[in-house]
Amino acid sequence: MSKVAVVYWSGTGNTETMANAVAEGAKEAGAEVDVLAANDFNSGKVAEYDGIAFGCPAMGAENLEESEFEPMFTDVEGSLSGKKIALFGSYGWGSGEWMADWEERSKAAGAVLATDSVICQEAPDDDAVENCKKLGAALA
């Protein structure tokens, strides 16, 4: 059985809804899953998991949330080489460029993207929730 962490930050609840769907998909695929807020995760925990799903909405000028998520991700970045990860999040404006930037940053750190990232505008609809479940299953 694989062990998966779903690590996220959510301001409005949209990314939290996505995180719960990711966790559900991973559990349905047979993984043991821990759902953690960004401030409950750090580089020391990376090795405990076979795969990690990171979720964060776009903030400001299409950036990761800066007070909790960005410092956590900066901390774990150096531990992601060879690690299977997946990315998800919501946005309210723009084109979703923050996700493309985040994917490139993760690849540069040596992370292995297990599947296509999932993004949605505003609250996740049924398709986005289903895609989050598939993301979780791919990570498991």
User: What is the pTM assigned to this prediction?
Assistant: 0.97
CB of 31 closer than 8 Å to CB of 2: yes
- 55-67 pLDDT, tens per residue? 999 998 889 999 9
CA distances from 40 to 63, 71, 101 (A): 21, 12, 24
- 82-134 pLDDT, tens per residue? 999 999 999 988 888 899 999 999 999 999 999 999 999 999 999 999 999 99
CB of 33 closer than 8 Å to CB of 133: no
